[in-house]
Amino acid sequence: MALNLVKGIIFLSPTVLGILGNVTVFVNYVLLLGGTEMKSVQLILIHLAFTNIIILFAKGIPKTVSAFGQGLFLHDTGCKIIVYLERVARGLSICTSSLLTVTQAGTMSPTDSMWRRLKLKSPRHILSIFIWFWILNSLISMNLPLSIISINSVNISQITKDDKYCYFVPEGWIIRWTFLMLMVLRDAVFLGIMGGSSGYLVFLLRRHHQRVLHLQSSKFLYKTPPEIRAAQSVLFLMLCFLVFYWADCAFSMLFSSSLNINSVMLNIQEYVTLGYAMLSPFVLIHRDEQLGTCCHSQEDSKTHKNCFTDFFCN
């Protein structure tokens, strides 16, 4: 009982904080869009925050309830919905993060650069890409509703861990490998795009740093422009994403090659799965020191606007 309480608190605290952080970012950017022209990066951040909220609700909340020892609280339909949503949202997180780096690279690129042509000037284009992301990830995960049932429907002797709430029914190897390869292909493509655009952002920031050193040596007063601070924030977000993504992959490979899986390691892996969704809103809040002030002064629309336009410019 005491162990279940500790495990429940360990999952509950960061899950609730992550949801509150993402809701804060989501609401503030939505309010910003209501009072000014829509910006591509702002729309992408809204979608990323929304995706994180889905992950935390679909993964964090059930895991928390299950950790408290209430593993039989979901029936088949509930299991199918939350597992499907969590898998779709995970794919959306990869796609949206990749789009964020590409858009920021296009924003910072010189006018005659190839990356500049990739910049999506119309919010309508961004929304069309979001629809395509949802369709793509929904199709890649369409096998899950057929292979997920509640542990209520399974002989309890088949469940080896007491903190599970859903059970994966073994699939045929053709179906399993087909959807697995589709997931791997999706991840490889979008991670490759993310890596290329992040590398280009690093190049632009390095060139900017050399120019700053020249200005400082020339005794010119210099102030970091908003687009440079935005690029630095995007790179930091992508670094966090890659750390959690590859850590999750490492745990998955370890578990697939091990017969005896420690429950502590399983819980750590669950934490890693939720890590980016919990941390990313606080990265944004930390990078924009005025964000906290904005949250308490939304009645002043001018102040609210300035808080965000100083952070992400597009």
Tell me the H-state helices in 173-290.
173-217, 226-256, 263-287
How far is C-alpha 214 from the chain's CA centre?
Answer: 37
Distances (CA, A) of 55 to 48, 59, 63, 90, 129: 11, 6, 11, 7, 20
Indicate the pLDDT class of residue 37, thresholds 50, 70 and 90.
low
Residues 187-214 have a mean pLDDT of: 81
In a domain, 314, yes or no: no
The region that residue 219 occupies, defined by phi over 0 for left and psi between -120 and 50 for alpha, beta otherwise, is left
214-272 pLDDT per residue, tens: 555 555 545 556 667 777 788 888 888 999 999 988 888 887 776 666 777 877 888 88
Indicate the pLDDT class of residue 194, thresholds 50, 70 and 90.
very high
Residues 295-301 have a mean pLDDT of: 47
Residues 54-78 have a mean pLDDT of: 80
pLDDT of amino acid 133:
96
Residue 106: give its domain's CATH number: 1.20.1070.10
202 vs 69, which has greater pLDDT?
Answer: 202
Rg (CA), the chain: 22
Indicate the pLDDT class of residue 71, thresholds 50, 70 and 90.
low
d(CA 25, CA 128): 22
pLDDT of amino acid 17:
92
The region that residue 69 occupies, defined by phi over 0 for left and psi between -120 and 50 for alpha, beta otherwise, is left
Task: Supply the pTM of this predicted model.
Answer: 0.83
d(CA 146, CA 165): 16
**Residue 281: which residues within 8 A CB-CB, separation 6 or more?**
18, 21, 22, 24, 25, 49, 52
Q: Percentage of the chain surpassing pLDDT 70?
A: 70
**Residue 224: which residues within 8 A CB-CB, separation 6 or more?**
none
With 80 as the cut, is the pLDDT of residue 77 above it? yes
The parent domain of residue 193 ranges over 2-309
pLDDT of amino acid 70:
63
79-94 pLDDT per residue, tens: 889 999 999 999 999 9
Please give the mean pLDDT across all residues of the chain: 77
pLDDT of amino acid 87:
93
Task: Say how many domains are in the chain.
Answer: 1
Question: Among 75-84, 190-199, 293-302, which is the least confidently predicted range?
Answer: 293-302
pLDDT of amino acid 214:
52
d(CA 47, CA 39): 13
CB 94 within 8 A of CB 312: no
Residues 181-192 have a mean pLDDT of: 94
CB 244 within 8 A of CB 191: no
With 80 as the cut, is the pLDDT of residue 299 above it? no
118 vs 123, which has greater pLDDT?
Answer: 123
The tokens for 165 are: 């709430």
304 vs 153, which has greater pLDDT?
Answer: 153
Indicate the pLDDT class of residue 7, thresholds 50, 70 and 90.
confident
